[in-house]
Structure 1
Amino acid sequence: MTDAPAYSSPFTSSTSKAAVLYRMVLKDHICPYGLKARDLLKRKGFSVDDHLLTTRAEVDAFKAKYDVQTTPQIFIEGTRIGGHDDLRRFLGLNVPDPKATTYQPVIALFAITALMAAATSYAVYGSPVTIRAVEWFIAFSMSILAMLKLQNVDKFSTMFLNYDLLARRWVPYGRIYPFAEGLAGVLMISGALNWLSIPVALFIGTIGAVSVFKAVYIDKRELKCACVGGDSNVPLGFVSLTENLMMVSMALWMLLAPGH
């Protein structure tokens, strides 16, 4: 968090520039944004006069003197720039909006599960590209998606109620769903108890796919997806529909394919 910046013009060249940084370094807390500000200034070619506020009294006195609410605070050529985010704006850098929609969590998740599946396939079969690798990719994805939901089941179930058709009729289903998804995923990884994992995945995947399709493509509602947990800013739509269709496809594949 930062205070409003005390500057009006952009800064483009940092060569041979000096900056003064005030940051909190207490025994029980070192301000991470102070460290990030110092690192950013140095990477941009500034010499940094680093002032440490080592007691709560020093922090309070500094805030009172400059009439600010937060630290760190950066000064360049006698002008107060503000905190870490204000420094990024001053240097023409992007400041991420924590409320903005993003697909980054989903991209990271599927990239890691794909690599995990390829690595497991290589360890077992000597090749990263096998049918089993595809099965593991889906099963790993289901398991990790369930884990993310289970970090805060209450938040997940609250978001889930916005669009899931069964959860709206029977509220406890919102809390059961991540446990069912995780159980099906783990069983599919092992290949055990197919008589249980297949119907569970088929049931929750089908209801989920229908619910998402209705909410997004028929009712045209703009909602956040609960697929990666209750704190996500992933928009409901293609990602959640894909998650559910993967579960349905995996269940049908295991039901119909030889060897399952």
Structure 2
Amino acid sequence: MTNAQTQNRTAVLYRMVMPKHICPYGVKVKHLLQSKGFRVEDHWLRTREETDAFKSEHGVKTTPQVFIDGRRIGGHNDTRRFLGLNVADPDAVSYVPVLAVFAIAAALALAVSFAVFGTALTSRAIEWFVAFAMALLAMLKLQDVDRFATMFLGYDLLARRWVPYAYLYPFGEALAGVLMAARALPWLSIPIALFIGTIGGASVFQAVYIQKRELKCACVGGSGRVPLGFVSLTENVVMVGMALWMLFMSSMI
């Protein structure tokens, strides 16, 4: 449905606007309708009693509710469908979370390299990129360690034999990433990265390429929807590569 088709049409919106709660989907659907050229007749449900009475009257379980030309369209997602827009599938797999981590890690690495050396493109920028990515991925896991561990136990070879490893993993990844960013304590950071990277790579390879299992990766935490596969394997391979590079650099000093 184009803006020309919706221009000057009226949409009637009922949404919760209470002293301690403003429904975010109500705000979103109002903006959506206005951006599509609708004139919005905005009705606020100011109390829980008003909201319950509205739901009972119209036989609905949720608000907001949109009406167009006397027809009830529904809530935010229903309105998007009515307008011919995509609605995100909450269960769909996506590489967006891990790509976002890598993009931010790369931007930070280039920024630090520029601040330190006056140019963004340096060998240290590559080191910082890997180290920052490790730290950021660990941060996402540490938001809910138990949830991460539950997903991780589904495929990691060591964690399935010794459960505490699933809880220790994000702390080890964070420690190795931070130490590698500083090139500090290589005697500690290198073995950690080699250990978790090697086991992680072997675990992903077995689960995906040998057993042909379709799993979600715990790399961005237990709530992530990143499919276990090439990206997960690459993460571990890069971690091992970083450890070997740091070992080489240490031997040169």
Same fold by TM-score, threshold 0.5 exceeded? yes
What does residue 103 of structure 1 align with?
95
1:77-96 map, 5 Å: 77-96=69-88
Unaligned 5+ segments in structure 2 are none
Deviation at 1:238, TM superposition (A): 1.0
CA distance in structure 2 between the aligned counterparts of 1:137 and 1:111, rounded to whole angstroms: 9
CA distance in structure 1 between the aligned counterparts of 2:162 and 2:252, rounded to whole angstroms: 36
One-letter code aligned to 1:45: G
Matched, 1:146 2:138: yes
| CA displacement 1:189-241 (0-9 Å, x = unmatched) | 11110110001100110010011011101111110000000001100011111
What does residue 51 of structure 2 align with?
59
What does residue 196 of structure 1 align with?
188
| CA displacement 1:91-118 (0-9 Å, x = unmatched) | 0000001110001101111001000000
SS at match of 1:168: coil
Deviation at 1:140, TM superposition (A): 0.2
SS at match of 1:210: helix
SS at match of 2:159: helix
Matched, 1:174 2:166: yes
Unaligned 5+ segments in structure 1 are 1-10
Match of 1:71 among 50, 55, 63: 63
Deviation at 1:120, TM superposition (A): 0.4
CA distance in structure 2 between the aligned counterparts of 1:248 and 1:189, rounded to whole angstroms: 15
What does residue 5 of structure 1 align with?
none
What does residue 231 of structure 2 align with?
239
CA distance in structure 2 between the aligned counterparts of 1:81 and 1:259, rounded to whole angstroms: 68
CA distance in structure 2 between the aligned counterparts of 1:177 and 1:49, rounded to whole angstroms: 53
| CA displacement 1:130-154 (0-9 Å, x = unmatched) | 0000000000000010111111111
Report the TM-score when normalising by structure 1.
0.94
One-letter code aligned to 1:235: P
Change (3 A) 1:72 1:80: same
Deviation at 1:15, TM superposition (A): 2.0
What does residue 149 of structure 2 align with?
157
Deviation at 1:16, TM superposition (A): 2.0
What does residue 111 of structure 2 align with?
119
One-letter code aligned to 1:102: S
One-letter code aligned to 1:62: F
Report the TM-score when normalising by structure 2.
0.97
State the aligned residue count: 250
Deviation at 1:169, TM superposition (A): 1.0
Deviation at 1:168, TM superposition (A): 1.0
| CA displacement 1:55-75 (0-9 Å, x = unmatched) | 111111111111111100000
CA distance in structure 2 between the aligned counterparts of 1:201 and 1:195, rounded to whole angstroms: 11
What does residue 3 of structure 1 align with?
none
What percentage of residue pairs aligned between the two structures are identical? 66
Deviation at 1:242, TM superposition (A): 1.1
SS at match of 1:94: coil
